[in-house]
Amino acid sequence: MTPSTALSDTFVFLRQFARTARTTGAIAPSGRALSRALVQHVRPGDPDRPRAVLEVGPGTGAVTRHLVQRLGPDDSLDLVEANPRFAEQLSTFLDHDPRMAEVTGRVRLIHGLVQEHVLGSYDTIVCGLPFANFPPDQIMAIFGQLLASLTPNGRLSFFSYSGGDAVCRFAPSQMLSRQALRESVERNLVERELVLRNLPPAWVYHLAAYPSPRPASGPARHTRESAD
């Protein structure tokens, strides 16, 4: 991403945050370290079995740019974006950015809320939704939908900004949302990592598509990520 693109994306995020803070959830696009952590389970498929990838809440495409670099020659990518301004910018990016030329025809942009759409089956799902801002029933419904859309060996990766306990002191309503978030992911969680080099720092969670409670193989693995 060029400096001018990064500045433009940040300006768009700031404007959308000012207008719709609850659904935007951030004042700037995901940084490079956070983007890399989110897409680490996106791996090219075999020639005989193309892989399908879904990104929910791509915003202005900061993570998308890293996703397309990890797609195989026959893999596909679906993007679901509810914010009209972000969707418009994504459409322009997909149509005119030369880096997207190799994946033209294999990327589909879907407008609207993810829960309004019938999803396909995906090998990897990357999610950028601000779950802590959503009501508990919506959080549980979305995670149920996304986990049900994973293939048996699939992975779902999402992030949550660190410092949640401090936020709850100023916004007690988020306590129930964060509790619902923990309950929605705890049985499928296999790994989480702290990305320090992001504004603000964020926890990245990786979930597996277990149809029942996680096997008795010990607690989820915890690592720290600080790469740029």
Angle at 60 between CA 119 and CA 224, to 5 degrees: 85
Domain boundaries, the chain: 3-225
**What pLDDT shows up at residue 228?**
39
Q: How far apart are CA 214 and CA 228, in angstroms?
A: 32
- Using CA atoms, how far apart are residues 128 and 35, in angstroms rounded to an integer? 10
Stated length of the chain: 228
Q: Which amino acid is at 118?
A: V
Identify whether the C-beta of residue 157 lies closer than 8 Å to the C-beta of residue 38.
yes
The pLDDT, as a whole number, for residue 189 is 96
CATH no. for 3-225: 3.40.50.150
Q: What is the pLDDT along the chain (228 residues), one digit of tens a residue?
A: 554 454 455 555 456 544 554 544 454 567 899 999 999 999 887 778 899 999 999 998 999 999 999 999 999 999 999 999 999 989 998 888 888 888 989 999 999 999 999 999 999 999 999 898 899 999 999 999 999 999 998 999 999 988 755 555 556 667 888 899 999 999 999 999 999 998 889 999 999 986 544 544 444 555 554 433
Strand, helix or coil for residue 225: strand
Give percent helix, percent strand, percent coil of the chain, each to the nearest 5: 40, 25, 35
CB 194 within 8 A of CB 162: yes
Q: d(Cα 192, Cα 71) in Å, to the nearest integer? A: 23
In this structure, are residues 192 and 203 in contact, taking their beta carbons and an 8 Å threshold? yes
Q: Which two tokens stand for residue 200?
A: 């603000």
DSSP H/E element including 204:
strand 202-208
Cis peptide bond prior to 200, omega within 30° of 0: yes
Per-residue pLDDT, 44:
80
List Cβ neighbours of 98 (8 Å cut-off, separation of 6 or more): none
Q: Which helix (H) or strand (E) holds 108?
A: strand 107-111
Query: Global pTM?
Result: 0.81
The one-letter amino acid code at 20 reads: T
